[in-house]
Amino acid sequence: MPRTLSPLELARRTIDLIAARGAANVVLLDLRGLTVIADYFVISSAQSTPQMRAIRDTLDRELTAETGVCPRFEGEFSDGWMLADLGAVIVHVFSDEGRAHYRLEHLWADAPIVLHVQ
């Protein structure tokens, strides 16, 4: 039976899952009080299309089974970016070039960094 997680617990579980699939340079930003679009951003990098697909499949399969949260996905590795909308948590997975282009950490520089896993 799926268990309910707080937004922070959901973000941390998501980080565990994507790190297990090789996501690199993972940053968790606390957006509470800065925007209404989400409580947290998880920002990470993937090195290839297969790795990004593995991250997407893992979030879709395992997160849904564990929590009942069904991610909504946008983007592809060929775009340099993929987004998984989990409601209170939004996960961004970038190619290195896409991450340098979009610069989300810079755009959300006022958001406290909760966790940074290199």
pLDDT digits (tens, 9 = 90+) for 17-35: 999 999 999 999 999 999 9
Q: Which residues of the chain have pLDDT under 50?
A: none
Residue 85 bridge partners (DSSP):
72, 90
Asked whether residue 112 is domain-assigned, the answer is yes
Asked whether residue 1 is domain-assigned, the answer is no
Domain CATH number, residue 60: 3.30.460.10
Cβ-in-10-Å burial (0-12, 13-18, 19+) of 77 comes to: buried
Q: Is 37 helix (H, G, I), strand (E, B) or coil?
A: coil
Number of domains in the chain: 1
Q: pTM of the full predicted structure?
A: 0.94
